[in-house]
Structure 1
Amino acid sequence: MSIAVTDLTKFYGTQKALDGVSFSVDKGEIVGFLGPNGAGKSTLMKILTTYLEPSSGSASVNGQAVLDNPMAVRQSVGYLPEHNPLYLEMYVKEYLSQHAQLYKSPKNRIAEVIEQTGLSPEAHKRIGSLSKGYRQRVGLAAALLHDPEVLILDEPTTGLDPNQILEIRELIRNAASSKTIFLSTHIMQEVEALCDRVIVIDKGQIVADHKLSELKGDQQQIVEVAFDFRVEEVALNRLPKVSKVENVHEFTYLIHFDTKEDMRSTVFDFAHDNGLKILQLNQKNKNLESLFRELTNPGK
């Protein structure tokens, strides 16, 4: 087991940032750690990387307890924090050489990670002159230098443009072939693109822990329909297997069905029986983003 967390709690003064968190990550898994801002994601990652101590509970990485063997944990973890702490006045190779010395990594590893992370064109430049995307590459290269078994990445694509996001995702995907990856984000597309499992945290507590395939398999069906006239929602709620109806825009409705059966024919029949014309009729699936909103709804 790569990561084991048991009943972990963390207080900042009187504020409880983590509240009895428990989960485990098996070797080779790519796990997305989802949650809204302030949910406790970064706090947990800092505990796993020994930057913070828990108030109670336990955590271990590669069998090493974060409180008992912090140096062993650091040696087996590559960490890219949310705010990548780079020395902007240093050159890329100089910065990576410094990290290699700290981890006692062989010198040839510097050239290897520069190649691995696509830094070759920028390797002789000062970090301060690099784009945000290339700075993230430098942080990822530093995390990979000592060839860790576990990569812990906290919001690795925050602030990047769409092209840079795709590039960093590809780097992470390539690294995942030989490592366990624990990836914190609040971007649903990030999880869908990279992960095979998702853990959702809200207000310091785990509210979901599922394989991504399980979430997709449990999806409700949503039919989006636009009529030529306003329809009373109570009439649509009488359709079979309806769980919810939303009037999203004028004569357009989202009808949620508790079934995987294609219900568009049922909606078509409803329109025909009530003398309505259908201007638009689409079948949708309940994606990770809508599931996330339900799980972390502040009004629940």
Structure 2
Amino acid sequence: MLTGRPIPSVLGMIEVEQLTQQYGARAAIQDLTFRVEAGEILGFLGPNGAGKTTTLRILAAAQPASRGTARIAGWDVHRQAQAVRQRIGYLPEIPPLYPEMTVQAYLSFVARLKGVVAGDRPQRLAETLQRCGLNDRAQTPIRKLSKGYRQRVGLAQAIVHDPPVILLDEPTVGLDPRQLQEVRSLIRSLAGEKTVIFSSHILSEVSQVSDRVVILNQGRLVTTTATRELLQQGGWHYRLEVSGDRNPLAVLQSLDGVQSVQMQAQTGDRWIISLTSQADQEIGAAIAATIQQQGGQLWELRRDRPSLEEIFLRLTAPVPLNPSEEPAE
């Protein structure tokens, strides 16, 4: 029997405030604060060991936090854990499958376990099998399924009871390109209908699925932003080919809005230079004007956005830690 009442949620379907998990002197996550709106798909990103799995376990009411609070649909994940478990679907990195059961028998068992009333089970099973592309595997023992189909069964057990919130921990690990596309399409189909946290360590993958991203590094929040805005955080990359009597490197380094300048090659009086601007600074005109002012000739000026991988690597660059602060997944 459930106790207590949900706390009215004015911020979002998922609310995390100052969440911290200590393992002795070591912090797996520290002071995390973020929210997820109803119907939003949130990409939960970070390198291995960043604290993604720890956070999802806490949100799934599978382990308590050392301190801080988290609420799902207004229910506190620690004090009202049973209410939270009834309102979430959780897919850990290794799906909780019973290999000797058939797909349909397993999903029927999960539906019963998660409180789907007997009269509703046939419809819920039929809808889930259809949605996850499992109709032609319904009577197949799970041990005979490929990894891609096992991931589908894992997703099916997370949604069979029609929860409003779904937590997916690295759901695409080990899948081939076709299986990746199928799982991504399934996750995208949940947008607007369910609130989803989808964890991964590959930014480009999450960008294809999520509305917004939260990036963790060594247990701490690095950034939370709309996926479409993430590229703007990386500034612009410029490639210049310049000729003249003077090396332009020093004068380019002094320009406002420049983050870094590197010499790539030099042949005679020609230089090839790589330049990166600060976040969202467009300085192409200033570069061209500077070269002309010092009497140089600009043969080429090419501008590109940094790749998602470059931005991710910059945001999650290792920082020095005390020996007692080594992060854990």
Question: 2:260 is aligned with what amino acid?
Answer: K
Q: Give 2:91's aligned residue.
A: 80
Which residue, 248, 253, 263 being the options, matches 2:284? 263
Q: Is the 8 A contact 2:277 2:283 kept in 1?
A: no
Q: TM-score, normalised by structure 1?
A: 0.88
Q: Distance in 1 between matches of 2:265 and 2:55?
A: 40
Change (3 A) 1:287 1:202: same
Structure 2 counterpart SS, 1:178: coil
More deviation in 77-86 or 252-261? 252-261
Q: Give 2:239's aligned residue.
A: 224
Q: Give 1:237's aligned residue.
A: 253
More deviation in 62-71 or 119-128? 119-128
Structure exhibiting the larger radius of gyration computed from Cα positions: 2
More deviation in 289-298 or 134-143? 289-298
Structure 1 unaligned residues grouped into runs of 5+: none
Q: Distance in 1 between matches of 2:265 and 2:75?
A: 54
Q: Distance in 2 between matches of 1:109 and 1:248?
A: 60
Change (3 A) 1:282 1:128: farther
Q: TM-score, normalised by structure 2?
A: 0.80
- Asked if residue 107 in structure 1 is aligned to residue 122 in structure 2, the reply is yes
Q: Give 1:19's aligned residue.
A: 30
Q: Give 2:203's aligned residue.
A: 188
Q: Is the 8 A contact 1:245 1:254 kept in 2?
A: yes
* 1:130-149 alignment runs, 5 A limit: 130-149=145-164
* 1:112-191 alignment runs, 5 A limit: 112-191=127-206
Q: Distance in 1 between matches of 2:59 and 2:238?
A: 43
Residue 4 of structure 1: how far off its partner (Å): 1.2
Change (3 A) 1:76 1:226: farther
Q: Distance in 1 between matches of 2:54 and 2:89?
A: 16
Q: Give 2:213's aligned residue.
A: 198
Residue 119 of structure 1: how far off its partner (Å): 1.3
Residue 221 of structure 1: how far off its partner (Å): 1.4
CA deviation profile, 1:75-126 (whole Å, cap 9, x unmatched): 1101111121222222111111111111232222111111001112222212
CA deviation profile, 1:159-208 (whole Å, cap 9, x unmatched): 11122111100000001230111111111012211112111111211121
Which residue, 288, 296, 299 being the options, matches 2:316? 296
Q: Is the 8 A contact 2:29 2:220 kept in 1?
A: yes
Q: Distance in 2 between matches of 1:204 and 1:62?
A: 24
Q: Give 2:108's aligned residue.
A: 97
Q: Give 2:230's aligned residue.
A: 215
Change (3 A) 1:299 1:66: closer
Which residue, 70, 78, 98 being the options, matches 1:67? 78
Q: How large is the Cα RMSD of the aligned pairs?
A: 2.8
Q: Give 2:67's aligned residue.
A: 56
How many residue pairs were aligned? 297
Q: Is the 8 A contact 1:198 1:211 kept in 2?
A: yes
Q: Distance in 2 between matches of 1:265 and 1:120?
A: 60
